[in-house]
Chain A
Amino acid sequence: MATIASTFNPREIDNTDDIPGRRAPLITGNQTYGSVTDIVCRVAEEPQPMLWYILFGFSSLTAITFLGLIGFLILTGVGIWGNMNPVFWAWPIVNFVFWVGIGHAGTLISAILFLFRQNWRTSINRAAEAMTIFAVICAGIYPGIHVGRAWLAFWLLPYPSLNLWMWPQFRSPLLWDVFAVGTYASVSLVFWYMGMIPDLATYRDRSKSPLRRMVYGVLCLGWTGSARHWLRYEKAYTLLAALAAPLVLSVHTVVSFDFAVSQVAGWHTTIFPPYFVAGAIFSGFAMVVTLLVPLRAIYKLENLITLRHLDNMNKIILATGSLVGLAYATEFFMAWYSQNQYEGFTFMNRAFGPYWWAYWTMVTCNVISPQLFWFKKLRTSTFWMVVISIFVNIGMWFERFVITVTSLSRDFLPSSWGYFRPTLFDGLMFFGSFGVFLSLFLLFCRFLPTIAMSEVKGILSATAHSAHGHDAGHGHDH
């Protein structure tokens, strides 16, 4: 069986150049079907590196602290946060939008890139989808605990209540949010799980211990790889992709409605849906890059997650980052062009008011830093792409902070203006969500297939027979 990857230094191969007329390979190292299986299964079969234990110890402690803080919050009340008149939507909503935004990359890669037949998605979609689900879990925590009486959060659902005799208010964007985020989370989970079924069967068939064999056997539902099963599987996958593609775009659209349907200056604008979606893809891809670069180094996946994949993602970061920059400029233009004094004031206040530092941090991180990806040297340097992607995520957090807090702290009534100050709990409970996120991601790496083996093999098969010409595009074509 092939052991090519372990002795191979990926930094020597650059597959990011396209010679005209011939496509550079998507995966490197002369892989065979067996070697792809070996590289991916090794991640879960071999003992985890020391670094995994260090990271998991740290992240699980953080996650437990976070859960403890949630318990303290529920017992004490939301007063432990800095939320105070007039800024009642502060860090919890900022963190919610931040995490939901990050959760856009996974399903976008799986669904939209699938529909566009972007074969390079196959190496990264699994990890990105997992990241999506964990980010949406982190996002879902905040509205749940922000409602004050967290044990009654189920009141958001339209269920026939015996005590209340009432139904939710379907004309409110906050309820649309419940449906949008709930649908997105569950559909992403189904998409992720369904994509994993064939790979879980591979894990099952390679298992040495009966327990492992049984657990993976149950998880993969007894998958055999039958041609009839594949036929329906591919059809279902295409349908899910077609359904998930508009769903991805709808989620952040609805999240932006939370703001845009209100009348607060700086929120009440029609640019919000596309602007939020672009920002979400931007931050999601940045998070995927942040996670995949260490992942491929630690588990020696450089032959499957190649520089070309990272390069492509950086290009998307560059494109969406420019879109976000354009949106910022458009907002300012509209504030001036509309001649609405409240709009005008709000935007001057954003850039030069008491929160100028947040605004310019946002602009530096979101507009200026991704422009560095015009340079191929930076786009293909793992060090610089991680640095820039972290900057992007800092910037995207500040974007949500700027939108939420600057508009609320200075709205129509100058007598009720204020300045938001976070408390220690705000900071700890934001930091703690990273513990939940990282713990889940590390567990995913350890127990589940991090790369969609069957899809990579399909691409491998298609490339091997590229003599067939145009119809050799993708294993999923029919």
Chain B
Amino acid sequence: MSEHKPRKSPEKKMPKAFGWMAEYQDENNLLVAARKVRDAGYTKTDAFTPFPVHGIDEALGIKPTVLPFIVLSAGLTGLATALLMQWWMNGVDYKYIISGKPFGITPASIPVAFELTVLFSAFTAFLGMIALNNLPKFSNPVFTNPRFDRATNDRFFLYVEAKDKYYNRESVKELLSGTHPDSLDEVIEDTTPSELPRPIILAALLLVVAGLIPAMIILNMRAGFSTSPRFHVFFDMDFQPKKKAQQPTTIFADSRIMRPQVKGTIGRGQLDEQEPFYLGYDPAKMTAIDNKNLSVFVSTQAAKLPDTSAQTPADGSPQTAPMTTPPAMAPGTPALNLPWTEKLPIDANEETMALGKLKFETYCAACHGYAGFGDGLVHKRADSLAQGYWLRPTSMHIDRVRNQPVGQIFHTITKGQGKMASYAASLNPKERWAVVLYVKALQKSRNADIDDVPVDLRSKLDEVKK
């Protein structure tokens, strides 16, 4: 508190005078004196009181403050900030639906808008008061007189500054003496050394240097390169003690973290898939089949597929395959013995045929070819690249496939076979049946004779030939 703001050369002995300070016991004496000083024309005056004295503004001629207008603009800024923030954050930048509530500025924006208005205004009222008062100011010439300590206790002071344009040392002294002060002192410059004590300077320097360290670290990290992983203050769910699909585990005997469906259970949403329409066979007839086949069926359902999936590569044309036929591919494979649906469960009309053609050409023709000979573009390209290691996609016109019931073809599309993936995700059951219909039509078209053509259309066939 005792340091002084302007630095003075040490040889200057005579302290500078800043003005006169008169002390009063009572606020009324102060008011009377203040009016006198004001009427004498002095403007660089001030009063120091332990509490706000009524009427002192008028007695000294102090003008009202602009603080309310600053606070008003801060409040409006707060309001605008809150509304813009909510509109942009929840309505533009990170828009998501919650309880069907609308986006943008709604009644739900009012509480935050109100709070931010008050927050901005209140801090501006406080900080604005501090700033307009030029605080904090720890050095002040009025502190040099120990009597002044009572300005915050029980005494009232009137101060005329030397900066006033009418200031004259003697006349001001005379004027103030005429107001019957308890004491009258000249305010003089603070002569105590203005330098801060050395330890405080050192401590401040250390603090500044220490404060720079985090900034330097951040700058270094921003500018430099590193191959080590990001430094995590908080892990933010980056590392979680959980297993992901296909990972091994020690919890289960089979070391697999993905658990197969428990035998004899039906998963949520799988109940309607127990119908022939979704399966291609009739599970109700399964009881009639021997237990060995049943176990194969269950394991197929449980995605274990140890046997059936291994057989299927041989469904490609065995004559071109250089690899030996897998041992499980024996005649009379259990999968063939399922109670396949023999009758197409959808109507075989033009519309269904068109749907089947569309889907076949979209999904199947790439490998199987447009005519179903297993000579699609994928085959041609792969065959040229793999040079003999490529297994040709199954032709639909070989006897084995031609003799398959519709249910079995449907099952192949649904579950996949060999290299062929399941198309259950791409085609819904109706579309799959439509594809089955189209496949059956293709097979028929490549193995038909003239008796298959209706009599009245045979003449048309001749026209096509020409």
Binding site for B on A (CB under 8 A): 32-34, 37, 151-152, 158, 163-173, 175-176, 179-180, 182-183, 186-187, 190-191, 193-194, 198, 201-202, 204-206, 213-214, 217-218, 221-236, 239-240, 243-244, 246-247, 250, 254, 257, 453-455, 457-458, 461-462, 465, 471-472, 475-478
Contact B126 A168, beta carbon cutoff 8 Å: no
Nearest chain-B residue to A460 (Cβ)?
B51
**A222-B136, A236-B67, A457-B51 given; A179·B111 CB < 8 A:** yes
Q: Is B137 in contact with chain A by the CB < 8 A criterion?
A: yes
Inter-chain contact count A-B, CB under 8 Å?
216
Contact A34 B153, beta carbon cutoff 8 Å: yes
Contact A198 B115, beta carbon cutoff 8 Å: no
Quote the shortest CB–CB distance from A123 to chain B (angstroms): 14
Given A158-B89, A172-B98, 16 extra CB contacts under 8 A: A34-B153, A152-B236, A167-B90, A171-B106, A186-B122, A186-B123, A187-B123, A190-B122, A193-B126, A205-B152, A217-B1, A224-B48, A224-B140, A230-B56, A243-B118, A246-B114
Quote the shortest CB–CB distance from A25 to chain B (angstroms): 18
Which of chain A's residues have a CB closer than 8 A to the CB of B138? 217-218, 222
Which of chain A's residues have a CB closer than 8 A to the CB of B53? 227, 230, 461, 475
Which of chain A's residues have a CB closer than 8 A to the CB of B94? 165-167
Name 13 interchain pairs, CB-CB below 8 A, sorted by A.
A171-B90, A179-B111, A187-B118, A190-B122, A205-B151, A213-B1, A221-B130, A225-B48, A229-B133, A235-B129, A239-B121, A243-B118, A454-B51
One of A32, A180, A236, A454 near B111 (C-beta < 8 A)? A180
Query: Could you tell me the distance between the alpha carbons of A314 and B93 in the complex, rounded to whole angstroms?
Result: 52
- Among B27, B57, B94, B153, chain A packs the most CB atoms within 10 A around the CB of B153
Contact A169 B90, beta carbon cutoff 8 Å: yes
Which of chain B's residues have a CB closer than 8 A to the CB of A226? 46-48, 133
Contact A475 B119, beta carbon cutoff 8 Å: no
Contact B149 A223, beta carbon cutoff 8 Å: no
Query: Could you tell me the distance between the alpha carbons of A244 and B126 in the complex, rounded to whole angstroms?
Result: 12
One of A34, A191, A478 near B57 (C-beta < 8 A)? A478
Nearest chain-B residue to A233 (Cβ)?
B129
Contact B119 A187, beta carbon cutoff 8 Å: yes
1/0 contact string of B217-240 vs chain A (CB within 8 Å): 000000000000000001010000
Query: Could you tell me the distance between the alpha carbons of A191 and B125 in the complex, rounded to whole angstroms?
Result: 10
Quote the shortest CB–CB distance from B16 to chain A (angstroms): 19
Nearest chain-A residue to B155 (Cβ)?
A33
Closest 4 CB pairs of A and B: A33-B154, A236-B129, A167-B89, A221-B136
Contact B149 A170, beta carbon cutoff 8 Å: no
Q: Is B205 in contact with chain A by the CB < 8 A criterion?
A: no
Nearest chain-A residue to B48 (Cβ)?
A225
Quote the shortest CB–CB distance from A136 to chain B (angstroms): 14
Query: Could you tell me the distance between the alpha carbons of A298 and B46 in the complex, rounded to whole angstroms?
Result: 40
Contact B89 A183, beta carbon cutoff 8 Å: no
Query: Could you tell me the distance between the alpha carbons of A166 and B90 in the complex, rounded to whole angstroms?
Result: 9
Contact B67 A475, beta carbon cutoff 8 Å: no
Query: Could you tell me the distance between the alpha carbons of A471 and B65 in the complex, rounded to whole angstroms?
Result: 22
Which of chain B's residues have a CB closer than 8 A to the CB of A190? 122-123, 126
1/0 contact string of B151-193 vs chain A (CB within 8 Å): 1111000000000000000000000000000000000000000
Q: Is B135 in contact with chain A by the CB < 8 A criterion?
A: yes
Contact B50 A33, beta carbon cutoff 8 Å: yes
Nearest chain-A residue to B59 (Cβ)?
A227
Give B1-59 interface residues, CB cut-off 8 Å to A. 1, 27-28, 46-54, 56-57
Query: Could you tell me the distance between the alpha carbons of A429 and B57 in the complex, rounded to whole angstroms?
Result: 53
Which of chain B's residues have a CB closer than 8 A to the CB of A472? 54
Which of chain A's residues have a CB closer than 8 A to the CB of B98? 169, 171-172
Q: Is B206 in contact with chain A by the CB < 8 A criterion?
A: no
Quote the shortest CB–CB distance from A355 to chain B (angstroms): 29
Contact B122 A244, beta carbon cutoff 8 Å: yes
Q: Is B62 in contact with chain A by the CB < 8 A criterion?
A: yes
**A34-B153, A228-B62 given; A170·B108 CB < 8 A:** yes
Nearest chain-A residue to B230 (Cβ)?
A163
Size of interface on B: residues with Cβ below 8 Å to A: 67
Give B106-151 interface residues, CB cut-off 8 Å to A. 106, 108-109, 111-112, 114-116, 118-119, 121-123, 125-126, 128-130, 132-133, 135-140, 142-143, 149-151
Which of chain B's residues have a CB closer than 8 A to the CB of A198? 50-51, 152
Contact B52 A458, beta carbon cutoff 8 Å: yes
Quote the shortest CB–CB distance from B25 to chain A (angstroms): 9
Query: Could you tell me the distance between the alpha carbons of A225 and B90 in the complex, rounded to whole angstroms?
Result: 48
Query: Could you tell me the distance between the alpha carbons of A233 and B123 in the complex, rounded to whole angstroms?
Result: 13
**A224-B142, A233-B52, A454-B51 given; A201·B152 CB < 8 A:** yes
Nearest chain-A residue to B200 (Cβ)?
A214
Contact A152 B234, beta carbon cutoff 8 Å: yes
Nearest chain-B residue to A172 (Cβ)?
B98
**A33-B50, A34-B154, A167-B89 given; A235·B65 CB < 8 A:** yes
Which of chain B's residues have a CB closer than 8 A to the CB of A186? 119, 122-123
**A32-B154, A232-B65, A232-B67 given; A225·B50 CB < 8 A:** yes
Contact A202 B153, beta carbon cutoff 8 Å: yes
Q: Is B86 in contact with chain A by the CB < 8 A criterion?
A: yes
Which of chain A's residues have a CB closer than 8 A to the CB of B234? 151-152
One of A169, A194, A202 near B129 (C-beta < 8 A)? A194
Quote the shortest CB–CB distance from B223 to chain A (angstroms): 18
Quote the shortest CB–CB distance from B397 to chain A (angstroms): 55
Which of chain B's residues have a CB closer than 8 A to the CB of A206? 149, 153
**A163-B236, A222-B138 given; A239·B68 CB < 8 A:** yes
Query: Could you tell me the distance between the alpha carbons of A151 and B47 in the complex, rounded to whole angstroms?
Result: 51
Contact A240 B154, beta carbon cutoff 8 Å: no
Which of chain A's residues have a CB closer than 8 A to the CB of B90? 167, 169-171
Quote the shortest CB–CB distance from A190 to chain B (angstroms): 5
Q: Is B279 in contact with chain A by the CB < 8 A criterion?
A: no
Q: Is B366 in contact with chain A by the CB < 8 A criterion?
A: no
Which of chain B's residues have a CB closer than 8 A to the CB of A229? 133, 135
Quote the shortest CB–CB distance from B47 to chain A (angstroms): 4
Contact A183 B119, beta carbon cutoff 8 Å: yes
Query: Could you tell me the distance between the alpha carbons of A37 and B114 in the complex, rounded to whole angstroms?
Result: 39
Contact A254 B111, beta carbon cutoff 8 Å: yes
- Among A171, A191, A204, chain B packs the most CB atoms within 10 A around the CB of A171
Q: Is B85 in contact with chain A by the CB < 8 A criterion?
A: yes
Q: Is B439 in contact with chain A by the CB < 8 A criterion?
A: no
Query: Could you tell me the distance between the alpha carbons of A187 and B54 in the complex, rounded to whole angstroms?
Result: 27
Q: Is B244 in contact with chain A by the CB < 8 A criterion?
A: no
**A205-B149, A227-B46 given; A194·B126 CB < 8 A:** yes
Which of chain B's residues have a CB closer than 8 A to the CB of A465? 28
Which of chain B's residues have a CB closer than 8 A to the CB of A172? 98
Contact B71 A239, beta carbon cutoff 8 Å: yes
Contact A176 B112, beta carbon cutoff 8 Å: yes
Query: Could you tell me the distance between the alpha carbons of A164 and B237 in the complex, rounded to whole angstroms?
Result: 11
Which of chain B's residues have a CB closer than 8 A to the CB of A454? 50-52
Q: Is B60 in contact with chain A by the CB < 8 A criterion?
A: yes
Contact A232 B93, beta carbon cutoff 8 Å: no
Nearest chain-A residue to B146 (Cβ)?
A205
**A171-B98, A217-B1, A243-B122 given; A477·B65 CB < 8 A:** no
Contact B67 A239, beta carbon cutoff 8 Å: yes
**A151-B234, A152-B234, A202-B152 given; A236·B49 CB < 8 A:** no
Which of chain B's residues have a CB closer than 8 A to the CB of A246? 114, 118
Nearest chain-B residue to A169 (Cβ)?
B98
**A232-B65, A239-B121, A250-B114 given; A205·B153 CB < 8 A:** yes
Which of chain A's residues have a CB closer than 8 A to the CB of B292? none
- Among B50, B111, B132, chain A packs the most CB atoms within 10 A around the CB of B50
Nearest chain-B residue to A191 (Cβ)?
B122
One of B56, B65, B86, B130 near A170 (C-beta < 8 A)? B86
Contact A234 B62, beta carbon cutoff 8 Å: no
